[in-house]
Amino acid sequence: MADQREADGHAVKLCYLYTAVTELILAGELPKDTYGAAVDAVWENMVQKRMYVTGGIGSQAYAERFTKDYDLPSERGYLETCASVAVCMWAEKMLDYHQDAGYADVYEWELYNGVLAGWSLDGNTYHYANTLRYRKKITGYRQDCAHVEGQRQPWFACACCPSNLLRLIGNLARDCIRIRDGVVYVDLYMGAQVSAKAPDGRFDIRMETRYPYEGEVGFTVGTNRAEEVELALRIPAWCRHYAVRVNGESIPNQVRKGYARIRRRWKDGDFVHLSLVQEYRFLFADGHLWEQSGKAVLTKGPLVYCAEGTDNEELALLSYWTGTAFTESEKEMAGKTIPAVRCMGLRQTDSAELYRFAEPKTEPVELTAIPYFAWGNRGETDMEVWLPYRNTLPDMS
Ligand SMILES: [Zn+2]
């Protein structure tokens, strides 16, 4: 195993195994110089070449396994909820191993996309497999998509995913703020209250935010410590502009290993405001990705968006226009208000013949996208994460 360099085999079990190996290296039970190389190489291979844009892993239902680099089929991939949970578990150990915020970036992306898609908005039903494309009359018909459900299920004969997902949610209080070597690391932004006791006093943080829908986060410090404490706030890789203020004043800070660091003698009631500017941005696929090349995914902050047939007619005919403006809106589903976004795209207007020599005609059309985790909460419908993209609109004059 020390010789392994690729993410191979059963997706869930690989992450469980490497979670344990990383923990044993941290505990000094396995040698870092041999097993450490395997841990780093397998992680890099998984994240850089074998992970879906939602964070999902496991490209094939047969043996529920990884396949080869760049093989990430949208519709028939396995992407088990447990596998996404397992990536979070391993990421948490890698974070402790390297103290680098890049691992928390993966944890966060996985949490809000790969994991959360496995759970219905009303909390009562679950996805075992998290497909990136669902075609209402086709996916359920295909033998190689027999594992894909258009609707979340109340339970499974092999019910690993629901309990695994809930265990992870239960661990978020542990994983959002870590204290290591006297540094208080904030890795995940969410409503939370964490208390750290030290021989020379206490250091409490109350975190308030509407994250992931908004990037504003407030921290109220409660402390009686006389010594300086370093607060390290993760600046996610998706974030191009951020600001930190303490008690209303902009604070110069240094980003090291992905964390904006503020070291000072804190007073009881000090208030830190972190602003992480969230923008709608398209993600594009590397040319090696046979199925996704020439397509784009809409994102905002840590959320991957998708388009559903409920909001968009004939999804197969639609493309994104990368020059679009965005209009925020909301959708009511399963008793919840979920953010949605409208943008301009294109629709093919002359779809008739299966193949023909004339280039298809298109016209501008308004598209609606919702966060991927919320798909499939309004009845069975088409869904697509990757849409073709154009960087120009057709001349309609
Ligand atoms: Zn499972």
Looking at residue 201, what is its pLDDT?
A: 82
Distance 86 CA to ligand 1 centre (A): 10
Distance 227 CA to ligand 1 centre (A): 46
Average pLDDT over residues 311-327: 97
Distance 89 CA to ligand 1 centre (A): 14
Q: Where along the chain do the CATH 2.60.40.1180 domains lie?
A: 176-276
The answer to whether the CB of 227 falls within 8 A of the CB of 234 is no
DSSP assigned state of 191: S
Distance 127 CA to ligand 1 centre (A): 9
64 is catalytic: yes
Question: Cα 225–226–227 angle (5° rounding)?
Answer: 95
Contacts 24+ apart (CB under 8 A), 269-272: 269/220, 269/221, 269/222, 270/220, 270/221, 270/223, 270/246, 271/218, 271/219, 271/220, 271/221, 271/246, 271/247, 272/218, 272/219, 272/221, 272/231, 272/233, 272/244, 272/245, 272/246
In sequence order, what are the beta bridge partners of 21?
A: none
CATH architecture under which domain 176-276 falls: Sandwich (2.60)
Which is the catalytic residue, given 64, 108, 110, 149? 64
pLDDT tens-digit series, residues 186-237: 999 999 999 877 777 889 999 999 999 999 999 999 999 889 999 999 999 9
Distance 22 CA to ligand 1 centre (A): 22
Residues contacting 297, CB < 8 A, separation 6+: 53, 282, 283, 304, 305, 385, 386
Distance 128 CA to ligand 1 centre (A): 6
Taking each continuous run of H as one helix and of E as one strand, the counts in the chain are: 5, 21
Looking at residue 13, what is its pLDDT?
A: 98
Q: Is the pLDDT of residue 53 over 80?
A: yes
Across the beta sheet with 229-234, what order do the strands follow? 177-180, 183-186, 229-234, 259-264, 254-256
> With bands split at pLDDT 50, 70 and 90, how would you rate the model's confidence at 393?
confident
Q: At what angle do helices 11-26 and 81-98 cross, to 10 degrees?
A: 20
Residues across the chain: 397
Mean pLDDT of the chain: 96
Which tokens go with 180?
């290591």
- Please list all protein residues whose beta carbon sits less than 5 angstroms from ligand 1, which is an ion: 80, 82, 160-161
> With bands split at pLDDT 50, 70 and 90, how would you rate the model's confidence at 397?
low
The answer to whether the CB of 175 falls within 8 A of the CB of 185 is no
Which is the catalytic residue, given 6, 160, 214, 291? 160
Looking at residue 226, what is its pLDDT?
A: 87
C-alpha distances out from residue 100 to 34, 238, 286, 368, Å: 21, 15, 25, 36
DSSP assigned state of 318: E
pLDDT tens-digit series, residues 369-379: 999 999 999 99
pLDDT tens-digit series, residues 82-95: 999 999 999 999 99
Distance 320 CA to ligand 1 centre (A): 33
Distance 46 CA to ligand 1 centre (A): 19
The answer to whether the CB of 12 falls within 8 A of the CB of 80 is yes
Average pLDDT over residues 235-255: 93
Distance 113 CA to ligand 1 centre (A): 16
Distance 143 CA to ligand 1 centre (A): 20
Integer Cα distance of 275 and 235 in angstroms: 10
Which residue bears the tokens 């928390």? 104
pLDDT tens-digit series, residues 150-196: 999 999 999 999 999 999 999 999 999 999 988 999 999 999 999 87
The answer to whether the CB of 58 falls within 8 A of the CB of 11 is yes
Distance 84 CA to ligand 1 centre (A): 9
Average pLDDT over residues 292-308: 97
CA atoms within 13 A on the CB side of 350: 8
Q: Is the pLDDT of residue 30 over 80?
A: yes
Helix, strand, coil percentages for the chain (3-state, nearest 5): 25, 30, 40
Residues contacting 131, CB < 8 A, separation 6+: 74, 75, 76, 77, 79, 139, 145, 148, 383
Q: Is the pLDDT of residue 253 over 80?
A: no
Distance 3 CA to ligand 1 centre (A): 28
380 is catalytic: no
pLDDT tens-digit series, residues 94-132: 999 999 999 999 999 999 999 999 999 999 999 999 999
- Model's pTM, two decimal places? 0.97
Looking at residue 73, what is its pLDDT?
A: 98
